[in-house]
Amino acid sequence: MPLLKTKLELNSMAPGEELEVIATDAGSARDIPAFLQMSDHKLMSSSETAGQYRFVIKCGG
């Protein structure tokens, strides 16, 4: 579900805006970066702390 919500939110954003995603689903650590590699969006940072995954994504064009 975090990947779907991330995609929907990015679709509503303007290029250059940043989105912070915080998820507890371990699959997000794999799914979100994989999606971003195939898109125009850029992963600015990612981290994991105590089962919480945080991603900062810059919306592409």
For 24-44, what is each residue's pLDDT tens digit? 999 999 999 999 999 999 999
Q: Calculate the average pLDDT of the chain.
A: 97
User: For 1-23, what is the mean pLDDT?
Assistant: 97
pLDDT at 61 over 90: no
pTM of the complete model: 0.93
pLDDT of res. 23:
97
Average pLDDT of the residues in 4-32: 97
Full set of structural domains in the chain with CATH? 2-58 (3.30.110.40)
Residue burial 1-40, b: 16+ Cβ < 10 Å; e: rest: ebbeebeeebeeeeeeeebebebeeeebeebbeebbeeee
Q: Under 8 Å CB-to-CB from 4, ≥6 apart: which residues?
A: none
